[in-house]
C-alpha cells in the first residue's frame, strides 16, 4: 500500500495504491463477473483509490420506506482526473525494471493505454464503489447534518449514530481507527 500525491505540491496524498497478489486457483473455464477478465495464473494488480473524493452521493427513503442510494460516481470531474493520474502512475510502476522483467502482458486493460480519454473510458467501465463509506449521517449544525457534536440525531430524543456515517468528509486513510475513536467517545457520552 502507498499513499501518493499526484501533484507533488499537495498538502496530503490524494491517491492510495493497493498492491495485491493474485494467487487464486481459478478453473480455466470459470466465468464469473469478478474473475472473467482475470488471469488464470499467479499475477498481481495495483488498484487505485481516491483518498478525498469530491463526489457526493445521497441516501433517501422512498414512500415505501426503501432506501434510495445514489452514489453519483464521477459527478465531480476532478475525481476522474485524479484517477487518470493514478492509473498512469500505476502503469509507470509496472514499467519499472524490477517489475517489467516479470510482466508477460497487461491483463486489464488488455493493451497499453496512451491517452487520457482512453483512461477515462477504461475507468468509467471498471470503477466501483468500495470500502469506507461515510457521511450519510454527518455531524454538524448546518441544515444538512444529521447528528450534533455528541452524536445525537437532531430532533429525536435518545437516538445516536456512532460510526463512519457521521464523518462529513472521509479521513485520508482507512477509517477503522477513526471509527474506533468515535465509538469510544460515544461510550463516554452515553455513560456520562
pLDDT at 104: 64
139: pLDDT strictly greater than 90: yes
76: pLDDT strictly greater than 90: yes
Active site positions, annotated = 132
33: pLDDT strictly greater than 80: no
pLDDT at 144: 87
Distances (CA, A) of 22 to 19, 39, 99, 116, 191: 10, 8, 15, 27, 46
CA atoms within a 13 Å half-sphere pointing along the CA-CB vector of 147: 22
pLDDT at 113: 84
pLDDT at 85: 97
Are 81 and 57 in contact by the 8 Å Cβ rule? The answer is no
pTM score, whole prediction: 0.80
Q: Which residue has the higher pLDDT, 80 or 52?
A: 80
CA–CA separation, 19 vs 91, rounded Å?
A: 12
- pLDDT tens string 142-160: 888 999 999 999 999 999 9
pLDDT at 169: 87
31: pLDDT strictly greater than 90: no
What burial letters (b/e) apply to 29-48, b meaning 16+ CB within 10 Å? eeeeeeeeebbeeebeebeb
Mean pLDDT of the chain: 86
Amino acid at each position: 500500500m502507498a499513499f501518493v500525491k499526484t501533484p507533488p505540491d499537495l498538502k496530503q496524498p490524494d491517491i492510495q495504491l493497493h498492491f495485491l497478489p493474485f494467487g487464486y486457483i481459478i478453473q480455466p473455464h470459470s466465468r464469473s463477473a469478478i474473475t472473467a477478465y482475470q488471469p488464470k495464473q499467479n499475477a498481481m494488480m495495483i488498484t487505485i483509490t481516491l483518498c478525498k473524493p469530491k463526489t457526493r452521493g445521497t441516501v433517501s427513503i422512498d414512500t415505501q420506506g426503501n432506501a434510495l442510494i445514489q452514489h453519483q460516481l464521477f459527478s465531480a470531474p476532478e475525481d476522474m482526473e485524479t484517477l487518470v493520474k493514478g492509473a498512469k502512475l500505476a502503469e509507470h510502476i509496472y514499467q519499472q525494471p524490477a517489475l517489467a522483467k516479470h510482466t508477460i502482458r497487461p491483463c486489464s486493460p488488455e493493451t497499453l493505454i496512451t491517452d487520457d480519454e482512453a483512461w477515462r473510458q477504461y475507468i468509467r467501465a471498471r470503477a466501483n464503489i468500495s470500502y469506507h463509506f461515510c457521511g450519510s449521517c454527518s455531524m454538524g449544525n448546518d441544515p444538512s447534518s444529521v447528528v450534533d457534536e455528541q452524536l445525537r440525531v437532531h430532533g429525536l430524543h435518545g437516538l445516536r449514530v456512532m460510526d463512519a456515517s457521521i464523518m462529513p468528509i472521509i479521513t485520508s486513510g482507512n477509517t477503522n481507527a477513526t471509527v474506533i475513536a468515535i465509538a469510544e467517545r460515544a461510550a463516554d457520552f452515553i455513560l456520562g
